[in-house]
Structure 1
Amino acid sequence: MNGGLVDVRPDQPVDESAGKPPGRAKRPWMAWLWCLVAAVTGVSVAGGATLVGAYSKLSGNIKHVDIDAKDLGTRPAKVSKALNILIVGSDTRAGANVKYGHRDLGERTDTIILAHVSPNHDNALLISFPRDSLVQLPTCPPKPKNGLAGQRAHVGMINESFNFGGIGCTYRTIESLTGIRIDHYAKVDFTGFKSMVNALGGVDICVPKAIDDKKAMLHLAAGKQTVKGEQALGYVRARYSLGDGSDIGRIQRQQMFIASMIKKAMSGATLSDPAKLFRFLDAATKSVTTDPGLTVGVMKDLASSAQGLAAGDIRFVTTPWRYSLTQPGRVEWVQPQAKRLFQLVATDTKIQGSHIKTGRQGKVSKSKIEISVQNGTTRGGLGTQVAAALEQRGYTVVKVGDTKRKPYPKTTIMYAADGQSRVPTLAGDLLVSRSAPVKNVTTTRLVLVIGSDWKGLKAAPVSEEELKGIDATQDSCSAE
């Protein structure tokens, strides 16, 4: 998996300690963290109005390229205040990148990430889409001026959209597949990536055995070491000389490498060295192309609210996947897990049963809810089956029995005033239900009456275990 982040200073000096818990570090450059999520990591320095000149220079480094609205087609609705940034790693062979291959290969991407930043900008979830994913691709118009042939609707590899239709087609593809409204994009190329690693003084990695991969320009000894420039690029790009030779293995290695970059960029060694920090930010901003909407004003707004971000608040996951049975070497998305993940991100909802955050939280935990189950149908044993299913979800079932009256027409959650806050959690797991208050009773326990309209429980929510995510505190060395 992949990702990256950086940040920036508001124009005017502010008292950043006001209203903050004791011991929380000041984080004045946070906006670069979000806009350069593709370029790498959250960094910060102390300072004030004297940094305005540096801020202006860094802002001027970023290249902006607009996306034609006609390229995007019918778009998903924006249903939350979270920020969604599409990130692609470009393998263009033009200019400084010509030594990596023939220019006529065009501009492709092996890295596609959707960074979901919470409305409070206090956590980020980065979703990687495997390059080898077989998906339904939408139609994208040709772009003759850019040398892009366009894309016809068909089932193909997800990275075809960038090759044949550019960033606008990739935008359209990800939105059509996920139902998530994308707000901005960021694109990074080979040379920019190397510059960022070098500006940090290199990144530590651990490899289990020596590597000699001429195709990836990668030559490494076994063990822990610091890589820069070509070696760093070769390490994240290599596919066949490391791991199992799959794109999934490469994603996992990239994710660990970015985690190492995040930790180093957020470390005291970087933050306490203004020259080193500026070199990193300068390299990062020069390496990124974004849409015009990702303005200085947007970055300042992000900076004002992302003061307490830590490496553990940056999470990486991969779209739930499996190897294709019909096309060896290709990947298919596992359903309904992938669809549920996308719905959670689109609505900015916490991933149940994990500490991965996509945004808002609020329902009472299932572990704190006691339920009495009553079977109001003529289906013998249904109450016991439902109770078992609820316990698997994490509820505590204290009693199972039958209603006095059968059949009971409607599945009903009965609650006293003290238990009202628990109703939304249970109702959220049922395909059909209504709720009914019970007066003159003092208890937090709920009574679930199974009615004739019973349709079962909703599909289990996607969990962190299914996603196999990591946070930015982990890297290839700590994982060994």
Structure 2
Amino acid sequence: MNDNPMYMEYVDDADSPEPTRRRGWRILGWVCIGLSAVMVAGSLTMYGVYRKMFGNIAHEDTNALVGPNRPKKLNSAMNILMLGSDSRAGANAAYGRSMKNDPPRSDTIILLHLSPGGGGAFGVSFPRDLMVPIPSCKKPDGSGTTPAQPKAMINSAFTLAGPSCTVKTIESLTNLRIDHFMEVNFVGFKSITDAVGGVPICLPKDVNDPKSKLHLTRGKHVIKGDEALSYVRVRHGLGDGSDLSRIKRQQKFMGALANKAMSAGVLSNPDKLLKLINAGTKSLRTDSELTATTMLKIGTGMQGMTSGKLRFITVPWGADPADRNRVVLNQAAADAFFSALRNDRSVPDEKKKPAGGGAAAPKIPASQVKVRVFNASGIAGQAGRVGAALRSQGFQVEVAGNHATTTTKVQFGPGADQQAKTLAALVPDAPAPSAAAPGRAGTVDLIIGTDWTNLKTGKSGGAIPKQQGEIKADDNICDGN
């Protein structure tokens, strides 16, 4: 038996009915994803050394593989799909020899959403057991296409046709344009944690777990290398033994890693910076358009980014009625969340004084505005998508069907003229609200016409509300233990 703790033939789920050979690897993905987020957020500082090491990175032509029919961008936000691969190619074979010839999987899938102007960053996790439709995809080697699957685990897209197929799957699921992808394998894990000088953690109790070989006392520690690997994969030695408990711990570890790497002690130290980027780029594959110049452009727009603006969120999900071991999207909540991301304009707004210097007129809050949304755009599902975006901003929404009018309008019923102003403030280029036919007192009608573009956000950061269970990179590492 190999006694190297990095040798992943053994895992911590030997008593689980699920095949265990993949579990340790999706956990390491969290760590590498955290590094990738740091590379983006600090890319302006890293640009010089990143360009020098760009030759380490492999690339894939995602535009050619996904094809032309992709979602349109509605704003200047950036969406980067982060993928943690369990490939055993090359040096990765050392981390599971019996799986050397297995097809690779991506058990870590995180959409990194960068708000315009550095307004915030959101790491949106998609559970690997999420059951979704998988579209037909072109194979990267040019050998043909894969058949569409009406329902399959989301991580199977990567196995079928690589990272660009996962991009296509996420785009069809969210209607979000994915600008770039980053795929990270695990051979650089120890180097990454070493490069940042270790990652701080906080243990609620002593841990002595023979399976993971993790032996730590209660309280704060800084861990790296094999010890960090054991910490992120241990299941039964910490928490309640559930995978959900472990995932929450992994998110906190990723946040702590990002917080450490984004600190001045790492990014401003040439030696540490060089080690960090060298470790990351050796384990990285991206789309062919994510060049050093593109990274510089991203970094320029993210100069105000701090770890407190980096949030980690799990996509809304629920149990799959057909299989208790799988999950599905909580469709209503997911639609609202994806719509909020599509319409994100979380740029700090300047507060404007009313004309003449007087006090602003009282404004009816969105939570007190009842809205019926009608579709006159000719685009199927448009009213539902706009309605989801309005719900994410607090409006009470009813999707009311189609309408004969073809231009965008805001109309109000008796007593709802002020409520109409609240809504109209979010509708670009719409005419002033007008009275609707009587009979719907207190209700505002929004008619989505052929001239529709998108909603504005109600306030800075208002497009993406706080999500249940979210974690920020600068959270206290001992909170919630």
1:78-477 superposed matches below 5 A: 78-101=73-96, 102-142=99-139, 150=146, 152-211=148-207, 218-239=214-235, 241-349=237-345, 357=346, 368-369=363-364, 411=413, 415=417, 422-424=422-424, 435-436=433-434, 451=440, 464=465, 466-474=467-475, 476-477=477-478
Q: What do you get for the CA RMSD once the two structures are aligned?
A: 4.5
> Structure 2: which amino acid aligns with 1:424?
A
Q: Identity of aligned pairs, percent?
A: 37
Matching residue of 2:51: 56
Contact 1:112 1:131 in 2 (8 A): yes
Unaligned runs of 5+ in 1: 7-32, 350-356, 376-389, 396-408, 438-446
Equivalent residue letter for 1:338: A
CA distance in 2: counterparts of 1:38 and 1:160, whole angstroms: 24
Q: Distance in 1 between matches of 2:38 and 2:161?
A: 22
Shift of 1:320: 0.8
C-alpha contact (below 8 Å) 2:416/2:441 kept by paired residues: no
Aligned partner of residue 433 in structure 2, secondary structure: strand
Answer yes or no: is the 8 Å Cα contact 1:411–1:434 preserved in 2: no
Cα distance in 1 for residues equivalent to 2:467 and 2:205: 29
Which amino acid is the alignment partner of residue 270 of structure 2? Answer: P
1:257 is displaced (CA, Å) by 0.8
Q: For each residue in 1:39-81, what CA deviation from the matched residue of structure 2 results, as whole angstroms up to 9, or x when unmatched?
A: 66744898xxxx9863532333333232362445732222222
Q: Which residue identity is paired with 2:161?
A: G
The amino acid that maps onto 1:451 is R
DSSP 3-state at the match of 1:328 = strand
Q: Give TM-score scaled by structure 1 length.
A: 0.68
Decide whether the 8 Å contact of 1:205 with 1:226 is kept in 2: yes
Query: For the Cα contact (< 8 Å) 1:262–1:472, is it kept in 2?
Result: yes
Aligned length: 393
Shift of 1:374: 13
Name the SS for the 2:188 alignment partner: helix
The normalised TM-score by structure 2 is 0.68
Secondary structure of residue in 2 paired with 1:89: strand
Q: Verify the 8 A CA contact 1:374 1:448 in the aligned structure 2.
A: no
Q: Which residue identity does 1:339 align to in structure 2? A: D
Superposed CA deviations along residues 345-391 of structure 1, whole A, max 9, x for unmatched, are 12225xxxxxxx5x6879999994279x999xxxxxxxxxxxxxx9x
Q: Distance in 1 between matches of 2:210 and 2:309?
A: 37
Deviation at 1:178, TM superposition (A): 0.7
Partners in 1 of 2:255 and 2:369 — Cα distance? Answer: 50
| One-letter amino acid matched to 2:103 | G
Aligned to 2:76, what secondary structure does the other structure show? coil
Q: Which amino acid aligns with 2:440?
A: G
CA contact (8 A) 1:112 1:129 kept: yes
Offset of residue 87 of structure 1? 0.5
**Structure 1 residues 450 and 113: CA distance shift in structure 2, 3 A:** farther
Q: Where does the alignment leave 5 or more consecutive residues of structure 2 unmatched?
A: 1-26, 353-359, 371-390, 397-410, 448-461
Aligned mates of 1:128, 1:366 — CA distance in 2:
41
Closer, same or farther: CA 370–134 of 1 in aligned 2, 3 Å: closer
CA distance in 1 between partners of 2:311 and 2:369 (Å) = 41
Written as runs of structure 1 = structure 2, the 5 A alignment for 1:27-42 is 37-38=36-37, 42=41
1:192-241 superposed Cα distances (whole Å, 9 cap, x missing partner): 23321111111111233444556656554443222212232333344455
8 Å Cα contact 2:412-2:420 kept in structure 1:
no
Change (3 A) 1:75 1:207: same
